């Protein structure tokens, strides 16, 4: 075979390889873009979902305090602290993770749910409020 035949065969081979590599590269880039877009969209949706739950919990806390058997002075003090924490959350100054929020909100709801706040429950309420105020 002549040199011209070998050159044309080798050129065809490398062209095919280049085309294949280019096609794989394009597919990989598209896959990365799709994955990043989906993750960002899910993250935004998750943040909105968690934010809605937190706002709803703050409202439940206020209702629980108002309905409780606490003295009026205690009610006003706790309502002010919950309102301050919620304001911080709305401004983005309260950085609370999902699992931290579950821990805090569950304990506060347990204390307030029956309308009677026993003397041994006040330290729990205080601990959870202090945790919110530290975040």
DSSP sequence for 30-61: HHHHHHHHHHHHHHHHHHHHHHHHHHHHHHHH
Q: Is residue 23 part of a domain?
A: no
How far, CA to CA in Å, does 35 sit from each of 20, 25, 50? Answer: 23, 15, 22
Q: Is residue 126 part of a domain?
A: yes
Q: Is residue 92 part of a domain?
A: yes
Q: pLDDT tens string for the chain (135 positions)?
A: 555 555 555 555 555 555 555 566 666 665 565 555 545 545 555 555 556 567 888 889 999 999 999 999 999 999 999 999 888 888 887 777 778 888 888 999 999 989 899 999 999 999 999 988 887
**Number of domains, the chain:** 1
Q: What pLDDT is recorded for position 45?
A: 59
Q: What pLDDT is recorded for position 77?
A: 95
Q: Is residue 2 part of a domain?
A: no
Q: How far apart, in whole angstroms, are the C-alpha atoms of residue 112 and residue 107?
A: 9
* CA within 13 Å, CB half, 94: 23
Q: Is residue 110 part of a domain?
A: yes
């Amino acid at each position: 075979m002549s040199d011209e035949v070998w050159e044309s065969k080798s050129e065809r081979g490398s062209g095919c390889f280049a085309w294949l590599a280019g096609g794989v590269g394009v597919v990989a880039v598209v896959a990365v873009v799709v994955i990043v877009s989906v993750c960002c969209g899910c993250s935004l949706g998750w943040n909105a979902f968690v934010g809605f739950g937190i706002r709803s919990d703050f409202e439940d806390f206020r209702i629980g305090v108002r309905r409780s058997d606490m003295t009026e002075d205690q009610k006003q003090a706790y309502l002010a602290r919950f309102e301050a924490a919620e304001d911080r959350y709305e401004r983005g100054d309260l950085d609370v993770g999902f699992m931290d929020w579950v821990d805090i909100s569950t304990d506060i709801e347990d204390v307030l749910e029956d309308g009677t706040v026993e003397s041994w429950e006040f330290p729990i309420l205080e601990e959870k409020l202090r945790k919110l105020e530290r975040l």
